[in-house]
C-alpha cells in the first residue's frame, strides 16, 4: 500500500470558498432559561436531562438546581 503524503490531503487554496452550511445562533434553551424568573421551575423529561443540564450550565451557570422527581421519571430544573 502506497503511503500518501500530507500534501495529498491538505492543499492550501486561494480564491472563493465553497458554499457552507450556516448554523443558527439562536438557542431555544437560551431564551427560555435567561427569561426564567428566580424561583420558577420546569419539569424536564428523563430523556432530555442531559441537554437541559448542558444548556443550564452554559446559560445560567451556578444559578440553577436540577433535582430528580421522586414519583416520576423526570427532573425539576429550579432557577435560584
CA angle, residues 42, 46, 47, in degrees to nearest 5: 115
Task: Print pLDDT tens along the chain (80 aa).
Answer: 556 665 566 777 788 877 777 777 777 899 899 999 999 999 999 999 999 999 999 999 999 999 999 988 999 999 99
Residue 6, pLDDT score = 59
Whether 34 contacts 60, CB under 8 Å: yes
Residue 35, pLDDT score = 92
Whether 52 contacts 35, CB under 8 Å: no
The whole-angstrom separation of Cα 66 and Cα 43 is: 10
Residue 28, pLDDT score = 86
Residue 5, pLDDT score = 63
Whether 66 contacts 56, CB under 8 Å: yes
Amino acid at each position: 500500500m502506497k503511503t500518501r503524503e500530507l500534501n495529498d490531503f491538505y492543499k492550501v487554496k486561494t480564491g472563493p470558498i465553497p458554499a457552507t452550511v450556516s448554523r443558527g445562533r439562536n438557542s431555544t434553551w437560551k431564551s427560555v432559561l435567561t427569561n426564567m424568573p428566580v424561583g420558577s421551575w420546569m419539569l424536564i423529561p428523563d430523556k432530555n436531562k442531559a441537554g437541559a443540564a448542558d444548556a443550564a450550565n452554559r446559560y445560567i451557570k451556578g444559578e440553577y438546581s436540577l433535582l430528580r422527581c421522586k414519583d416520576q421519571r423526570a427532573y425539576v430544573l429550579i432557577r435560584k
